[in-house]
Structure 1
Amino acid sequence: MASDVRIEQLWIPDSLDGPDAADFVAAVEVGRKVRMQTWGSDDLAYAPGEKLLEMADPYERQVILVARIGGEIVGTVDIALPLADNLDLAEFTLDILPEFQRRGVGRQLLEAAEHFARDEGRHTILIDTNHPGASLSDSGSGQLVPGSGPGFVPLGSREVEFARHTGYTLQHIEQFSACRLPLDSRLVVELAAEAEEANGGRYRLHHWTDRCPDQWLEAVATLENSAGEDGVPGVDDPEMVLDGGILRQAEEVAIAQGRRTVVTAVEDLNSVLLVGLTTISVLALRPDVVFQDDTVMLQAHRGNKLGLLMKVANMERLTEQFPNARVLYTWNAPENRYLLKVNQQLGFTTAGVTGIWQKELPDFGPRVS
């Protein structure tokens, strides 16, 4: 156990220009180095400016605890506390510099984060572990299967060992995939033709960026809520009921954070209703790395290759508007075979998996310091 570790809450500066921003920049750099170690690139790492923008999210309070050894920040835990729903939940992202791993730093940071969360009235904790594709093929390490759904994480991984020893239970797996951009033009023509043939001209696509047109605002809210009732993978929280006002607020938050949103929706011409949509997010400071967000489709309209139709069109629009985008990342539940098949047709390859772990904290009552 590292006895010389000091845990403290990180000061969040107003900007990156002042001398008080040095610790914040150093903390963000810890996360970048960990992602380099895991994935071999920093595509999934925050730039300091991006992280600073995210800290102002009105739907989620974020607190960062840091571990110092000899004054140097060697580990961080980002604590996300939802403010609009899931008020018993806290999500942790724990990062320890590679050269300080296996020295007890992570355990001390995690314990401090759990105390903080419990003091905030949060008892359900989620953490994740990330496993690149190469680690999944190591049959000698064994496999740990989640409590629900297919997939596995490698039993012998340091992250898995740490999560189990600190009392977390593996809940489910998300498959992490990547697609190089732009799409091959011949592939686009082939897939669009395949999708058009399957749906027989009964549907029409609509596109927008950042802000949903007024005419579709309530329709999008209805679609998201209906899709949530169907349990469609891609809806973050099916218990949260959306309306046009909430969607507008979410759009304003994204715009304030510098995030761009490219959307394609599909309308059923018979009912004149939106029956599906797909969304790609572009971050303010990393326009070369983009992320697939929701893809939702009403149950009654599945089987018409509308997911393929929407995603091909949206990826083409993305390339038109953001020509510097070079890679699109997505996470999917392994049981969502339809979307995984669509992604495979588009050229996505599996980069690895993310394990989602959960722990229920006991309520010990108020702490006395």
Structure 2
Amino acid sequence: MTTAPTPAPQATWRIIDAPHGASLDAPEAWAYRGIAEVERECALDEFGHDDVAQRAIDVLVGMQDQRYLRRRRLVAVEDQPDGTPRVVGHAVLYLPQTSNEHLADGRVAVLPSHRRRGIGAQLAERLRQIAVAEGRTTAFAEVDFAHEPVPAEDEADDRVLVPPTGSGAVAADHPGMVLARRLGLRLELVSRRSVLELPLPDGAAERFAADARAAAGPDYRVHTWQDRTPEEWIEQYADLETRLTMDEPNADLDLLPERWDADRVRFHDAEHAAAGRGYVVTAAEHVPTGQLVAVTMLLFARDRPELSEQETTVVLPEHRGHRLGMLVKAVNLQAHARVRPATRRISTWNNENNPHMLAINVALGFRPAGGCAALQANVADVVPADVGAAPPAGG
């Protein structure tokens, strides 16, 4: 006597293109609110807080004007008893439009309660198909994690993945890493997330700034602005943003420098304003030439008063060695304290193989708080989700 096989359970979810609403009050906005809720739940599960989670307004604003970065968004939904859809997972494919046009940058997130049901794999497969149709040649993905594991010193440790750079590590069994490696993506780089607790000890920022000013000397002076880049500096600020993408140590990632100009700076200023974000920038001018040679930014969401994020920091190569990185960061921390006195922490990311910037952050008081694994593969080599290949050995 033979027993009939038990039928596989019927999937209760389906994948659709995320509808776009003109505002968060539009009927279609359920999708963007659902994406934000998935991001929040995933962040709480991984980090214990939602500092790194995208808000619904961030999703909305990013979809409204895509001249520099086009986005294809998918949602996995379940129908609730009242017939309304609930987002249980989402995926987005970022498609650069003016630089790195070969790139397909994907992100997949699934509610912790709905993992191991094939949702993530099917969302990733849809992204793969879109990347192929778009003619993109390099697939890129990032996996955020809360704790960096320590590899065993004396023997191979297959529980821990170390990138070819040899700097940083990520757990092999992290759900995001398991999915990415199953699809054929290779670990190339690990970045460190760090957090600075605020307020700083009395006088700390002032002492850092004074010491850096003394080292820089009279040939450099600082300028600080908020929320909108002054027209007198906008072209030079754009040049510094371009320079950052040239200098960032990206190991063997297939990333090319990004082209910035004044229009792109204005675009991002407007996008920040539309999303309810503000920022404080401090730049250093080389007085003899009138050129901006260093800059840093602290960015924040106005409805998240306890958190700010350290963004762009760059010093032109020919002006390094004068402690300008410390100068602009310390002065910007002073300005930030005046603008955002209620902020209790600043979050930042640095490549593990960028020792100079890491040293500045450590001196200021930033402490490790997880990281980010960067993976890539040729689009043609990404494994379709239904193949179910085992993760490759190593990174």
SS in 1 for 2:167: coil
Deviation at 1:70, TM superposition (A): 5.2
Deviation at 1:302, TM superposition (A): 1.4
SS in 2 for 1:317: helix
Cα distance in 1 for residues equivalent to 2:30 and 2:259:
40
Deviation at 1:266, TM superposition (A): 0.6
The reply to whether residue 356 of structure 1 matches residue 374 of structure 2 is: yes
Structure 2 letter corresponding to 1:88: H
Instruction: Tell me which residue corresponds to 2:73.
Output: 64
The reply to whether residue 52 of structure 1 matches residue 52 of structure 2 is: no
Cα distance in 2 for residues equivalent to 1:317 and 1:107:
45
Cα distance in 2 for residues equivalent to 1:117 and 1:183:
45
Unaligned runs of 5+ in 2: 1-7, 81-85, 383-395
Aligned partners of 1:203 and 1:268 also within 8 Å: yes
Instruction: Tell me which residue corresponds to 2:36.
Output: 28
SS in 1 for 2:28: helix
Residues 10/232 of structure 1: CA separation in 2 closer, same or farther (3 Å cut): closer
Cα distance in 2 for residues equivalent to 1:220 and 1:112:
38
Structure 2 letter corresponding to 1:216: W
TM-score in terms of structure 2 length: 0.83
Aligned partners of 1:35 and 1:44 also within 8 Å: yes
Superposition pairs of residues 70-219 of structure 1, within 5 angstroms: 72-133=86-147, 135-137=148-150, 142-148=159-165, 150-219=167-236
Structure 1 letter corresponding to 2:41: K
Residues 214/357 of structure 1: CA separation in 2 closer, same or farther (3 Å cut): same
Q: Which moved more, 1:12-21 or 1:86-95?
A: 12-21
Cα distance in 2 for residues equivalent to 1:323 and 1:37:
29
Cα distance in 1 for residues equivalent to 2:245 and 2:371:
24
Cα distance in 2 for residues equivalent to 1:43 and 1:114:
29
Aligned partners of 1:289 and 1:325 also within 8 Å: yes
Structure 1 letter corresponding to 2:318: A
Question: Deviation digits for residues 194-230 of structure 1, max 9, x if unmatched?
Answer: 212322333111111122222222332334445555x
Structure 2 letter corresponding to 1:257: A
What number of residue pairs does the alignment pair up? Answer: 361
The higher radius of gyration belongs to 2
Q: Which moved more, 1:171-180 or 1:157-166?
A: 157-166
Instruction: Tell me which residue corresponds to 1:268.
Output: 286
Question: Deviation digits for residues 300-351 of structure 1, max 9, x if unmatched?
Answer: 2212211111101111111211223222111111111111111111111110
Aligned partners of 1:225 and 1:238 also within 8 Å: no
Aligned partners of 1:2 and 1:103 also within 8 Å: no
Deviation at 1:137, TM superposition (A): 4.0
Cα distance in 2 for residues equivalent to 1:25 and 1:346:
36
Unaligned runs of 5+ in 1: 365-369
Instruction: Tell me which residue corresponds to 2:300.
Output: 282
Question: Deviation digits for residues 142-162 of structure 1, max 9, x if unmatched?
Answer: 322224462221223332222
The sequence identity of aligned pairs, in percent, is 32
Cα distance in 2 for residues equivalent to 1:333 and 1:115:
30
Structure 2 letter corresponding to 1:107: A
Instruction: Tell me which residue corresponds to 2:390.
Output: none
Aligned partners of 1:202 and 1:270 also within 8 Å: yes
Structure 2 letter corresponding to 1:301: H
Instruction: Tell me which residue corresponds to 2:273.
Output: 255
Aligned partners of 1:257 and 1:284 also within 8 Å: no
Cα distance in 2 for residues equivalent to 1:10 and 1:245:
29
Structure 1 letter corresponding to 2:282: T
SS in 2 for 1:13: coil
Cα distance in 1 for residues equivalent to 2:165 and 2:150:
21
Deviation at 1:182, TM superposition (A): 2.7
Aligned partners of 2:167 and 2:190 also within 8 Å: yes
Aligned partners of 1:136 and 1:352 also within 8 Å: no
Cα distance in 1 for residues equivalent to 2:127 and 2:340:
38
TM-score in terms of structure 1 length: 0.88
Deviation at 1:263, TM superposition (A): 0.8
1:242 to 256, 260, 264: 260
SS in 2 for 1:55: helix
Deviation at 1:189, TM superposition (A): 2.8
Residues 23/156 of structure 1: CA separation in 2 closer, same or farther (3 Å cut): closer
Aligned partners of 2:216 and 2:323 also within 8 Å: yes
Q: Which moved more, 1:5-14 or 1:28-37?
A: 5-14
Structure 2 letter corresponding to 1:334: E
Residues 305/144 of structure 1: CA separation in 2 closer, same or farther (3 Å cut): same
Instruction: Tell me which residue corresponds to 1:306.
Output: 324
Aligned Cα root-mean-square deviation (Å): 2.6
Cα distance in 2 for residues equivalent to 1:57 and 1:315:
31
